[in-house]
Homo-oligomer: A and B are copies of this chain.
Amino acid sequence: MTASTTETYALVNDGSSTTALGFKAGALAAGIKASGRPDLGIWASDVPCVAVATFTQNAFAAAPVIVSRERLEASPRAQAVVFNAGNANACNAEQGMRDAREMAQLAAAKLGISPDLVLVASTGIIGVPMPMDIVRAGMSRVDLRPEGGHAAAQAIMTTDTRQKDCAVSVRIGGRDVHIGAMAKGVGMIHPNMATMLAFVGTDATLAPDFARTALKRAVDRTFNMVSVDGDTSTNDSCFLLANGLSGAPELTGGSPDAERFVAALEAVCTDLARKMASDGEGATKLLQVDVTGAASESDARRAARAVASSSLLKAALHGEDPNWGRVFMAVGNSGARVDANRAALWIGSVQVARDGLTTGFEKAEASAQMHGDEVSMRVDLGLGSASARAWGCDLTEAYVVENSAYST
């Protein structure tokens, strides 16, 4: 993440989900993952928070998603999230629901709070019952600390190769407000949402309606614009908890500093979204797709996501092959309004198509724009002024290898 040029927010060095005042986390290797890596933890605030969330659209929503959604629908308040990796607790029917509720109870007992204030997030294999004996034993050993953010970020990793967390500070009503977050997700990442877990904790004071609107907007422009493999998981959850401990005045949609907070929140989510795309399973390159000149924002979003999602294009990206026709093919499939004689395309700084046909570019020059671990493409549809950005990654042999032997 680079600091905002307009200085509305500042990057916090070594930031994490516990950077905001009053947040703490603990995690350990309970033994859910066969690898012996960290897989269980609790992320909590010292005091109850305004809490909002976005969840997977998948019809087979996992038990922790159902439990968390029910709690937040009943009341936009929470104080903690209990989480695990290695088992998604999805497709486990009623037993899954009982296990998810028990996980919340175990965490609540440890924290001395009501189970209704605990949300649940799980990620891992689908269709295998949660090993509750392991969870119970592990939970008793979780040790929450204000400096526990990075350890928590490690414990929600599945096939992630790097932990994903960050934080920013932003001035609200004369106070320094912090927004810290962690996320995981590298496969089954696709609009809308991903096998993606993201926990965002802030010491700002947020009105529930404003928190909901701000989170939805940030998720729509960041996590929902990331595609790794076109699949959407049963477990995606993005939580925003606001505890007000900064002492800053409550933000509502009409507050003078509302936009500043929204921009800071989006910056945090953008950073995590980029980290997810570049850590896509088997990925070697981050792809950033901008669509400009669209007739509407929804067209721009659709077109950008279609390009970032195309298996053919992602394979070409891997080979650093400026096979630009595949970009137009993907845009043409997106449902966005296009005029085949107006579209233009840039790969990095090289314009490869204009008015719907090749510029006669030098292939080697365009290919050179695809070297390195970050590649940008821009499609201008020449129809309007709407734009959108999406992120993806290349499709590699390693993705196939990784996903052809996951559960066995």
Chain A residues engaging chain B, CB cutoff 8 angstroms: 57-61, 88, 90-96, 125-128, 187-188, 229-234, 309-312, 315-319, 321-326, 328-334, 336-338, 340-341, 343, 353, 355-358, 363, 367, 394-397, 399-408
Contact = CB atoms under 8 A, between A and B. Distances in A.
A328 B125 CA distance: 12
Contact of A59 (B338, B357, B400): B338
A324 B127 contact: yes
Contacts of A358: 91, 127-128
Given A91-B328, A358-B127, A58 B323 contact: no
A311 B311 CA distance: 9
Contact of A312 (B91, B231, B323, B328): B231
A316 B281 CA distance: 14
Main SS at interface, chain A: loop
Oligomeric state, in copies:
2
B329 A234 contact: yes
A357 B395 contact: no
Nearest to A228: B311
Task: Name which of A88, A229, A312, A355 has the most chain B CB atoms within 10 A of its CB.
Answer: A312
A408 B60 contact: no
A128 B318 CA distance: 21
A400 B395 contact: yes
Nearest to A396: B400
Nearest to A233: B329
A315 B404 contact: yes
30 contacts: A59-B331, A59-B332, A59-B333, A59-B340, A60-B328, A60-B331, A60-B356, A91-B328, A91-B358, A92-B357, A93-B356, A93-B357, A94-B341, A95-B357, A126-B329, A127-B357, A127-B358, A187-B312, A229-B312, A231-B311, A231-B326, A233-B329, A311-B311, A312-B403, A315-B400, A316-B404, A318-B400, A319-B405, A322-B407, A397-B397
Nearest to A323: B407
Contacts of A59: 331-334, 336-338, 340
Given A91-B328, A340-B93, A323 B406 contact: yes
Contacts of A88: 325
Given A319-B405, A353-B127, A404-B318, A90 B232 contact: no
A404 B319 contact: yes
A403 B337 CA distance: 27
Given A90-B329, A125-B323, 18 more contacts: A59-B333, A59-B336, A60-B356, A88-B325, A93-B356, A126-B325, A127-B357, A127-B358, A188-B312, A230-B310, A311-B311, A311-B403, A312-B403, A315-B402, A315-B404, A318-B404, A394-B404, A400-B400
Contacts of A309: 230
A402 B403 CA distance: 18
